[in-house]
């Protein structure tokens, strides 16, 4: 269970554990709870990513429209998810190498953590209009390599 403060209101986020194809997830089921989680917790990471790419977060079209999205928890077929070429083609600022190289290393580490320690993961985040993956590339690539066919996702509609 997590606590979240939004506009002075304390909201308890219930994060039950669910299993799907042998993978264990923390999930938020309540659409308002998902909205708050993405617009507060995840947004910070995205804002930092924008800054590291030399962009002003307040000018980023995705971040500007983010608070208007309606979010739901869904089980999504892995083959339905599209990768964002902008993200896939990034250069990792820490290593100077391609994002996909660092992703492969992180995915191997996550695969080992899931296999050895039954690590619990969060759903990926996708846009409803085209099912483009916007967050969770490591989780996605790890589960894809493990031949998982369905994944929990927070799906955001405009």
Encode pLDDT of 120-130 as tens digits.
Answer: 999 999 999 99
Closest CA to 73 of 100, 35, 47, 39: 35
Provide mean pLDDT across the span 140-146. 97
Q: Is the pLDDT of residue 91 over 80?
A: no
- Residue reference for tokens 């099912």: 131
Provide mean pLDDT across the span 76-103. 86
Q: Residues 125-143, buried b or exposed e (16+ Cβ, 10 A)?
A: bbbbeeebbbbbbbbbbbb
Residues 6 or more apart from 85 whose CB is under 8 A from it? none
Encode pLDDT of 1-11 as tens digits.
Answer: 454 445 555 55
> What is the Cα–Cα distance from 135 to 102, expressed in whole angstroms?
15
The side-by-side arrangement of strands in the sheet containing 133-135 is: 70-77, 150-157, 124-127, 133-135
**Beta strand 124-127 with 150-157: parallel, antiparallel or unpaired?**
parallel
Instruction: Please tell me the least confidently modeled range out of 7-21, 117-131, 138-152.
Output: 7-21
Q: Is-contact 40 158, C-beta < 8 A?
A: no
Q: Is the pLDDT of residue 136 over 60?
A: yes
Give me the pLDDT at residue 13, please: 63
Mean pLDDT of the chain: 90
Encode pLDDT of 59-85 as tens digits.
Answer: 999 999 999 999 999 999 999 999 999
Q: What are phi and psi of 151, to 5 degrees?
A: -140, 150
> What is the Cα–Cα distance from 104 to 141, expressed in whole angstroms?
8
Instruction: Please tell me the least confidently modeled range out of 75-84, 90-99, 138-147.
Output: 90-99
């Amino acid at each position: 269970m997590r606590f979240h403060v939004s506009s002075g209101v304390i909201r308890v986020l219930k994060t039950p554990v669910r299993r799907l194809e042998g993978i264990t997830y923390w999930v938020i089921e309540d659409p308002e709870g998902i909205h708050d989680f993405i617009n507060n917790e995840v947004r910070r990471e995205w804002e930092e990513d924008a800054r590291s790419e030399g962009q002003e977060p307040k000018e980023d079209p995705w971040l500007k429209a983010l608070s208007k999205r309606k979010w739901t928890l869904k089980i999504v077929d892995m083959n339905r998810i599209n990768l964002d070429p902008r993200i896939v083609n990034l250069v990792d600022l820490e290593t100077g190498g391609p994002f996909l190289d660092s992703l492969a290393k992180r995915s191997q580490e996550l695969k080992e953590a899931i296999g050895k320690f039954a690590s619990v993961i969060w759903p990926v985040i996708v846009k409803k209009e085209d099912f483009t993956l916007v967050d969770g590339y490591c989780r996605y690539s790890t589960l894809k390599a493990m031949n998982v066919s369905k994944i929990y996702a927070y799906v955001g509609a405009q």
